[in-house]
């Protein structure tokens, strides 16, 4: 019998949870942050905004979550059921072959967020957001997408809960990733390359440069303009905001249960950061424990591209979330809202800022940020794919690169460290990037 075979601990290679073991609440880190989160400011008056001001853009249910002081918020049963459809609870897997390839004494675990039909962690919040909008009678959602992962996840969720979906996709990705676009259209969404001729702001950008590669900041401006001007449409954001981080904490809570089953505590928890949502979802439940008990040993490592170094080289100040200056001002690490990143393949990491919650934890030295070049990130991605058979998204590959570095350090120091990473998505629709890498054309 396999389970009784003493040669191998099967559950150490893949630790699973049953559907009944799935957490029933999201964890809100706001009451546990080392210093209170500074309020968002009105873009015009520069005074703190209140809930009413957000109502043209978001449904009341999500606004309440954005500002909630409650440590736990129940997940509605309709959303729990939808989570089963996106393969929650997701397995925690041991990367034994990667350990062997690196000849490291460290143990490496990765949390499988690539198994949702959309291919990433983003459905954890898209389903919740579509649900609360549907409950309040909203008919359409508009959004931006960088790599296309978020747009796919929201298209999927809007289709699930019967809403229309309009996606502004950063032009560089729209051209690089045509199959992402088609996936969104299969789920019934309309997709425009951003900057587009569909909005005033998009037309302004195109007038300056007809071949503008776009940026997440510009696409956010377009999606917000569309939400405010088009009837019964609200706006939806795939990262950065508190309620998005909240929805993603299903990941970290599952991970904690899985490490409990293994009777282990990770020395490192690693995630890539674009706006910060998969990193937050993976780490916040453990960070919350650490902040309350102040004694767990885990170190939290946030990984970003060297070409978009908001956490490692940005300034901590109030800035707009978008390029046009339509969003409230958020206190965060930022490269400036008019920063246009180079068109790297990790489209989801091309954002000028980072979530205020994640920024707060970096500033207070609870989270350590690191940055890597695209080429070394793809080296690590291909090494992982060969070892474990799974082709990672370019965004996820940033976390893999950091894990490889930590595992090699453990080897040098002969330490049996336990390293856990969030495997935020697969790269099956990012093969253009791999092609460039394999053909030796990546710089
Ligand atoms: C697979 C994947 N990982 C990570 C990210 C970065 O976003 P975030 O920092 O919000 O997790 C994205 C964004 O599109 C993504 O698609």
Alpha carbons 220 and 234: distance in angstroms, whole number: 13
- Is residue 275 within 8 A of residue 239, CB to CB? The reply is yes
**Please, which pLDDT band fits residue 1 given cuts at 50, 70 and 90?**
very low
Q: Which atom of ligand 1 is nearest to the CA of 396?
A: 3
Could you report the per-residue pLDDT of 179-201, keeping only the tens digit for each? 999 999 999 999 999 999 999 99
Which of 170, 348, 350, 362 to probe ligand 1 with, by most ligand atoms within 8 A of CB? 348
Q: Is the pLDDT of residue 55 over 50?
A: yes
Residue whose CA is closest, atom 15 of ligand 1? Answer: 348
Q: Which atom of ligand 1 is nearest to the CA of 273?
A: 9
Residue whose CA is closest, atom 14 of ligand 1? Answer: 348
Residue whose CA is closest, atom 6 of ligand 1? Answer: 274
> Higher pLDDT residue, 7 or 210?
210
Could you report the per-residue pLDDT of 249-278, keeping only the tens digit for each? 999 999 999 999 999 999 999 999 999 999
Rounded to an integer, the average pLDDT of 325-351 is 89
- β-pair partners for 317: 332
pLDDT of residue 340: 85
> Higher pLDDT residue, 24 or 146?
24
pLDDT of residue 296: 77
- Is residue 127 within 8 A of residue 298, CB to CB? The reply is no
Taking the centre of ligand 1 as the mean of its atom positions, its distance from the CA of residue 273, in whole angstroms, is: 7
**Please, which pLDDT band fits residue 3 given cuts at 50, 70 and 90?**
low
| Ligand 1 shell residues, CB under 6 Å | 120, 146-147, 149-150, 239, 272-279, 348-349, 393, 395-396, 424-425
**Please, which pLDDT band fits residue 89 given cuts at 50, 70 and 90?**
very high
Rounded to an integer, the average pLDDT of 410-422 is 98
Residue whose CA is closest, atom 4 of ligand 1? Answer: 395
Could you report the per-residue pLDDT of 141-157, keeping only the tens digit for each? 999 998 899 999 999 99
What is the rounded average pLDDT for all residues in the chain? 95
Cut 0.75: pTM above it: yes
């Amino acid at each position: 019998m396999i389970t009784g075979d003493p040669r191998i601990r099967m559950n150490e290679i893949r630790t699973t949870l049953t559907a009944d073991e799935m957490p029933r609440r999201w964890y809100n880190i706001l009451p546990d942050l080392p210093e209170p989160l500074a309020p968002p400011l009105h873009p015009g008056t520069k005074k703190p905004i209140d809930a009413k001001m957000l109502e043209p853009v978001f449904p009341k249910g999500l606004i309440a979550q954005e500002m909630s002081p409650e440590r736990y918020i129940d997940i509605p049963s309709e959303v729990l059921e939808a989570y089963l459809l996106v393969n929650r609870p997701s397995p925690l897997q041991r990367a034994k072959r990667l350990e062997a390839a690196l000849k490291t004494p460290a143990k490496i675990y990765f949390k499988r967020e690539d198994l949702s039909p959309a291919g990433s962690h983003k459905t954890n919040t898209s389903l919740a957001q579509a649900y609360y909008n549907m409950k309040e009678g909203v008919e359409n959602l508009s959004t931006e997408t960088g790599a296309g992962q978020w747009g796919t996840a929201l298209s999927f969720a809007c289709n699930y809960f019967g809403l229309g979906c309009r996606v502004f996709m950063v032009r560089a990705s729209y051209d690089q990733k045509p199959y992402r676009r088609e996936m969104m259209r299969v789920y019934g969404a309309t997709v425009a390359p951003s900057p587009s001729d569909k909005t005033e702001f998009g037309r302004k950008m195109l007038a300056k440069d007809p071949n503008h590669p776009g940026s997440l900041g510009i696409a956010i401006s377009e999606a917000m303009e569309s939400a405010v001007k088009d009837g019964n449409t609200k706006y939806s954001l795939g990262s950065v905001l508190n309620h998005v981080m909240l929805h993603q904490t299903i990941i970290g809570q599952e991970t904690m249960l899985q490490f409990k089953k293994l009777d282990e505590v990770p020395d490192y928890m690693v995630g890539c950061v674009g706006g910060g949502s998969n990193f937050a979802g993976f780490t916040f439940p453990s960070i919350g424990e650490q902040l309350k008990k102040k004694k767990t040993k885990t170190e939290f490592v946030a990984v970003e591209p060297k070409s978009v170094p908001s956490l490692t080289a940005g300034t901590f100040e109030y800035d707009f979330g978008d390029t046009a200056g339509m969003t409230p001002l958020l206190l965060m690490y930022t490269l400036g809202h008019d920063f246009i990143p180079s068109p790297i393949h990790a489209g989801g990491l091309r954002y000028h800022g980072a979530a205020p919650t994640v920024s707060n934890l970096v500033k207070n030295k609870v989270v350590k940020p690191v940055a890597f070049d695209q080429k070394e990130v793809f080296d690590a991605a291909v090494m992982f794919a060969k070892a474990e058979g799974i082709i990672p998204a370019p965004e996820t590959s940033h976390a893999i690169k950091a894990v490889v570095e930590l595992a090699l350090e453990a080897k040098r120091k002969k330490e049996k460290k336990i390293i856990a990473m969030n495997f935020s998505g697969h790269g099956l629709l990012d093969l253009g990037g791999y092609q460039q890498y394999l053909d030796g054309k990546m710089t």
